[in-house]
């Protein structure tokens, strides 16, 4: 085991830092003792170092499971360029020749740190290559994705415990910035983490002031947000829930605004996104207007504000996104604007994310005794890749399928039971559909929690932290708009005119009732 002094020396030698951030050394020390660890570090708390440094100290390869392709690419480029660390990534964007070269590098020991998507890690050839090379640790980034109680559950994450065993059962590090008590408990249960090996830092970011602003109309909101972009001290990020809103706001601002602004969303190609990200990191752009595709793993300490053009679908997403403000410890400002139509955006997204009973039936009718289904057949049946993964997962959970293996072109599985008649098929449809409905209800609950936070009359900071089971309410400069908020410290000019709040702009109790029509008293499903 490496003692604290030697760890600090390694930190200084490889990364140039004099001291660890809170929680980092404790996490790394436990991992080097062979323990499984859950690290709960707020956004900007230095999660990546907790697996990057061990990769340089341990034999074999450290595997980092991440659902974010942009994060993999960004971190690997930085590690190679700045730290000279032999890192690589495996995901669906690589062509076969590049994938084969990375596999050769793993076998030869030329790769010490491998970022891999959870889907790619399901492939037997990847597992066999890693097993033969020797895996010294598995880091599960965005670990809340493994929990069906979480706001961003991914079906392939739930397969990770089996994969880790196939890799030889190395120590596991699970890291996330946002996790409720229920999510923490499920992460620990699935990844075999003992309660004493949970390293949890406070979620509260004392240097961030929280503001919530109601607007009477979409036009008024756009005007207010554009004025804020002009007058707030930057750099800053503006988050929108849809690509269309991103493009519309950027186009309007570029006509009348005063700052260098660009869009960022998943509809742009990877080179465009990389260019915009690099320009923002270098200070060549002052504001990024983006969907939530932007920000994961962005190493920029001086972001002064985050504006939410729409309210997010969950408090977890909100806390994670505002956590990108002020990583340097200087004061920052989080503003959330909303109008009534925001609810419809999220309701529409939620309904499209999960299948209808008819879509489940269409999927089950495509299954056959051979146990192989080309992706193109599903596409022709209007079942996209994300929906297909969801359906295969819940068909396996319901007992209809076994040994599901998913590749980019093909889905392989074993049928436990072949629906031989209409009634049998309908029974399977009902079981699979009910399983997907449970997940849909969890997301409805997250949305209703977000609405209740907006509706409340108490301190925004206190209620946000209470949601995550924390009591810390400290702040360094200002708390929130409900406790009283002076904006001048966050502005380039002396003040920012703000329209009076209208209590009747949006009755959130009615919105909650529409969202959860079968519940009373605003409780979730």
* pLDDT tens for each residue of 4-33: 678 998 888 888 888 898 899 999 999 999
**Cα–Cα dist 93/91, whole Å:** 6
Mean local confidence (pLDDT), 309-315: 93
What pLDDT is attached to residue 518? 45
Angle between helices 124-133 and 96-108 (to 10 degrees): 20
pLDDT digits (tens, 9 = 90+) for 455-480: 888 999 999 999 988 888 899 999 99
Mean local confidence (pLDDT), 73-87: 77
The tokens of 315 are what?
């408090």
Mean local confidence (pLDDT), 63-78: 80
Residues 6+ apart with CB under 8 A from 346: 241, 313, 447
What pLDDT is attached to residue 418? 62
Half-sphere exposure of residue 208: CA atoms within 13 angstroms, side-chain side: 32
Q: Is the pLDDT of residue 525 over 50?
A: no
Q: Is the pLDDT of residue 505 over 60?
A: no
pLDDT digits (tens, 9 = 90+) for 351-395: 888 888 888 888 888 887 778 888 888 888 888 888 888 888 888
Mean local confidence (pLDDT), 399-404: 79
Residues 6+ apart with CB under 8 A from 290: 237, 238, 239, 240, 246, 263, 264, 265
The torsion of the CA quartet 289, 291, 293, 296, rounded to 10 degrees, works out to 60
Three-state SS at 122? helix
Q: Domain 208-339+483-503 class? A: alpha beta
> pLDDT class for 400, splitting at 50, 70, 90?
confident
Q: Identify the bridge partners of residue 415 per DSSP, sorted by sequence position.
A: 401
Domain ranges of the chain: 4-200, 208-339+483-503
Q: Which residue has the tokens 């590090």?
A: 173
| Least reliable range by pLDDT among 216-220, 373-377, 495-499 | 495-499
Residues 6+ apart with CB under 8 A from 504: none
**Cα–Cα dist 332/329, whole Å:** 9
Three-state SS at 385? helix
Question: Mean pLDDT over all residues of the chain?
Answer: 84
CB 122 within 8 A of CB 405: yes
Which segments of 75-148 are extended strands (E)? 87-90, 113-116, 135-140
**Cα–Cα dist 343/450, whole Å:** 10
Residue 495 burial by CB count (10 A; 0-12/13-18/19+): exposed, middle or buried? exposed
| Least reliable range by pLDDT among 133-147, 411-425, 509-523 | 509-523
The DSSP 8-state label assigned to residue 234 in this structure reads S
Which secondary-structure segment (H or E) carries 213? Answer: strand 208-214
Residue 375 or residue 495, greater confidence: 375
| Least reliable range by pLDDT among 58-62, 162-166, 292-296 | 292-296
Mean local confidence (pLDDT), 43-69: 86
**Cα–Cα dist 329/2, whole Å:** 30
Rg (CA), the chain: 24
**Cα–Cα dist 150/66, whole Å:** 16
What pLDDT is attached to residue 318? 94
Q: Residue 87's CB: how many other CB atoms inside 10 A?
A: 22
Q: What are phi and psi of 332, to 5 degrees?
A: -140, 170
**Cα–Cα dist 305/112, whole Å:** 36
Q: Is the pLDDT of residue 146 over 50?
A: yes
The tokens of 352 are what?
């499209």
What pLDDT is attached to residue 229? 95
Q: Is the pLDDT of residue 349 over 80?
A: yes
Please tell me the CATH code under which domain 4-200 is placed: 3.40.50.300
**Cα–Cα dist 181/184, whole Å:** 5
> pLDDT class for 223, splitting at 50, 70, 90?
very high
Domain pair 4-200 / 208-339+483-503, same fold: yes
Q: Is the pLDDT of residue 213 over 90?
A: yes
Task: Tabulate helix, strand, coil % of the chain (nearest 5).
Answer: 45, 15, 40
Q: Is the pLDDT of residue 499 over 70?
A: no
| Least reliable range by pLDDT among 80-84, 286-290, 324-328, 455-459 | 80-84
Q: Residue 379's CB: how many other CB atoms inside 10 A?
A: 12
CA angle (503 as vertex; 498, 506 as ends), nearest 5: 100
Q: Could you tell me the CA-to-CA distances from 406 to 30, 91, 215, 320 in Å, in that order?
A: 34, 13, 45, 30
Three-state SS at 280? helix
Residues 6+ apart with CB under 8 A from 281: 298, 299, 300
Global pTM reads 0.82
The tokens of 220 are what?
């008024």
State the first-to-last Cα distance of the chain, in angstroms, to the nearest integer. 48
Of 90, 63, 51, the C-alpha closest to 168 is 63
| Residue 235: cis peptide before it, omega within 30 degrees of 0 | yes
CB 10 within 8 A of CB 25: no
């Amino acid at each position: 085991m490496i003692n604290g002094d030697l760890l600090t020396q390694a930190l200084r030698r490889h990364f140039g830092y004099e001291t660890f951030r809170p929680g980092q050394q404790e996490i790394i020390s436990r991992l080097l003792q062979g323990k499984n660890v859950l690290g709960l570090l707020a956004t900007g708390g230095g999660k990546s170092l907790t697996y990057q440094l061990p990769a340089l100290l341990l034999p074999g390869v450290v595997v980092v499971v991440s659902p974010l392709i942009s994060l993999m690419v960004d971190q690997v480029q930085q590690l190679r360029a700045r730290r000279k660390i032999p890192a690589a990534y495996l995901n669906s964007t690589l062509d076969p020749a590049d994938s084969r070269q990375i596999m050769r590098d793993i076998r030869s020991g030329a790769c010490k740190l491998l970022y891999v998507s959870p889907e790619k890690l399901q492939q037997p050839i990847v597992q066999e290559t890693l097993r033969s090379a020797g895996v010294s640790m598995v880091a599960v980034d965005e670990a809340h994705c493994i929990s069906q109680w979480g706001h961003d559950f991914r079906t392939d994450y739930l397969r990770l415990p089996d994969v880790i065993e196939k890799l030889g059962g190395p120590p596991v590090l699970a890291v996330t910035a946002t996790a409720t008590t229920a999510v923490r408990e499920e992460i620990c249960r699935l990844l075999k983490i003992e309660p004493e090996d949970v390293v949890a830092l406070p979620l509260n970011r004392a240097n961030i002031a929280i503001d919530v602003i109601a607007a009477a109309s979409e036009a008024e909101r756009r005007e207010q947000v554009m004025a804020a972009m002009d007058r707030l001290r930057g750099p800053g990020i503006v988050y929108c829930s849809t690509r269309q809103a991103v493009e519309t706001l950027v186009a309007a601002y570029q006509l009348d605004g005063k700052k260098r602004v660009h869009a960022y969303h998943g509809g742009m190609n990877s080179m465009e996104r990389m260019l915009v990200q690099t320009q923002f990191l270098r200070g060549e752009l002052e504001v990024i207007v983006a969907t939530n595709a932007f920000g994961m793993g962005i190493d920029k300490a001086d972001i002064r504000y985050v504006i939410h053009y729409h309210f997010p679908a969950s408090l977890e997403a909100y806390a994670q996104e505002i956590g990108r403000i002020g990583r340097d410890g200087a004061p920052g400002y989080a503003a959330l604007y909303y109008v009534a139509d925001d609810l419809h955006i999220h309701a529409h997204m939620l309904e499209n994310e999960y299948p209808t009973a008819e879509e489940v039936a269409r999927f089950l009718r495509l299954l056959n005794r051979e146990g192989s289904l080309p992706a193109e057949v599903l596409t022709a049946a209007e079942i996209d890749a994300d929906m297909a993964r969801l359906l295969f997962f819940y068909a396996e959970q319901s007992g209809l399928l076994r040994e599901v293996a998913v590749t980019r072109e093909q889905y392989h599985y074993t049928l436990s039971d072949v629906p031989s008649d209409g009634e049998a098929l309908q029974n399977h449809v009902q079981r699979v559909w009910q399983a997907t409905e449970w997940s849909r209800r969890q997301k409805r609950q997250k949305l209703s929690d977000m609405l209740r936070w907006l509706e409340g009359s108490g301190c925004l900071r206190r209620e946000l932290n209470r949601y995550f089971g924390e009591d810390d309410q400290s702040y360094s400069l200002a708390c929130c708009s409900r406790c009283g908020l002076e904006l001048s410290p966050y502005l380039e000019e002396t003040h920012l005119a703000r329209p009076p709040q209208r209590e009747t702009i949006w009755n959130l109790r009615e919105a909650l009732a529409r969202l959860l029509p079968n519940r009373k008293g605003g409780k979730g499903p």
